[in-house]
Amino acid sequence: MDTDSQERTLLRRFGRDECTQEPLYAALCVAAAENDPAVALLAEAPPEQRKVNLLLAALHERVLAGAAPELAAYYSSAGGTRAPDAGLADALNACLRHEWVRLVEHMRHRATQTNEVARCAAIWAALGAVAAATGAGELALLDLGCSAGLNLGVDRYALRYRRDDGRWHARGAARDGRVADIESLWLGDAPLPEAAAWRLAQRDGLDPAPIAVSDADGLRWLQACLWPHDARRRERLARAAAQLQTLPVTLTAADDCIAAIEPWLRGLPAGVQPVLLTSWVLYYFNAADVVRLRAEVDRLGLPWICGELPALSAERCPVPPPPALPAGESAASATLWTLRHREQECHLAWSHPHGRWIHWLG
């Protein structure tokens, strides 16, 4: 299959399989697959970043910047109310024609940095599993591929888990109207995580291009990586970004994030338990770097919370069967959370990629 055909197939498949809750993106993928400049634009991304999500985010950023008024009419995130129709293809053409230079720049140099903080419903529980496994109460968290580092505020968000009896159970920080609220269905019979017996003593992130949440352009890119219809996610991201500015967080740019792990370890104070976190990061790695990261984590004896597609999260243990889901929920892109420590692997949970539900296994 030639490159052009591969890009068209990617667009059609993504629109069909991944956009069931976003009719605009489903229609936009169809239009883009039939649009030669759009196909060429997707091919501008490096191979490991050649994802339809990146193309959609690049277009969305131009809409949010006010540079694509014809396309903005379809985006609720920009105040648009127009449903996808026959005019969408022309609106896409106009955006590609007028914003080509900036779009190419995004495709060549940006990455889909969703930083979906609702995943913290799973990360918070996984940190409890690390504390239980290591006996540590003071944790130093390193988010590899951190984007803006919003997951580093995991213990400062108000978490609520709903069991199948309809009752909500509060964890994390108190809800006060300012902190980011995260609600997640807790599926299955496993007990809920207890109140935290651990605390984050240090919060650090590594990324080839970390985003400062105080930077307006950077924050707009994060918002562009969200899907247009989801106002709740936009509000949650904005609150998390504001909250992160009050925390002692260090984000470091590193061309080789894997090589930067050991120097980070050497710089930690005595008495803290280091923990590595990746969430939807290996998806963007090439195969050789996935192998290299696994080997480095094993060499360093570092506990690693890994939330990825099961083919990437699981290496040594068979993938557990996915859970039965409530009506209206899909297992597409379900995330498998794994704890890897001292060459042992334990599957912790399945979750929705954006944290809407969790099925705890551990």
| pLDDT tens digits for range 157-193 | 999 999 988 899 998 877 776 778 899 999 999 999 8
Q: What tokens appear for 339 in the block?
A: 């704890």
Reference 352, options 286, 280, 299; nearest CA is: 280
Distances (CA, A) of 165 to 161, 169, 186, 248, 330: 11, 11, 10, 38, 21
Phi and psi, residue 151, nearest 5° = -65, -15
Domain boundaries, the chain: 3-109, 117-214+227-360
- What does the pLDDT read at residue 362? 67
- What tokens does 93 get? 């053409």
Instruction: Write down the pLDDT at residue 2.
Output: 58
Q: Side chain identity at 146, as an amino acid letter?
A: C
Annotate 103-145 with DSSP letters as a single string: HHHHHHH-------GGGHHHHHHHHHHHHHHH--SEEEEEEET
Phi and psi torsions of 126, nearest 5°: -65, -35
Among 158, 164, 147, 74, which residue's Cα sits nearest to residue 112? Answer: 147
The parts of the chain modelled with pLDDT lower than 50 are: 1
Write down the pLDDT at residue 107.
97
Residue spans of alpha helices (H) in 21-119: 23-33, 36-43, 52-64, 69-72, 88-98, 100-109
The backbone region for 158, taken as left when phi is positive above 0, alpha when psi lies in -120 to 50, beta otherwise, is: beta
Rounded to whole angstroms, the Cα distance separating 135 from 57 reads 41
* C-beta neighbour count of 39 within 10 angstroms: 20
Q: What is the pLDDT of residue 21?
A: 84
Coil, strand or helix at 11: helix
**pLDDT tens digit string along 301-347?**
999 999 999 999 999 899 999 998 888 887 778 999 999 998 899 99
DSSP 256-294: STTTTHHHHHHTSPTT-EEEEEEES-GGGS-HHHHHHHH
In terms of Cα–Cα distance, which of 234, 228, 232, 220 is closest to 75?
228
Reference 248, options 336, 174, 155, 349; nearest CA is 155
CB 334 within 8 A of CB 187: no
Q: What is the pTM of this model?
A: 0.85
Q: Measure the CA–CA gap between 233 and 223, rounded to whole angstroms.
A: 9
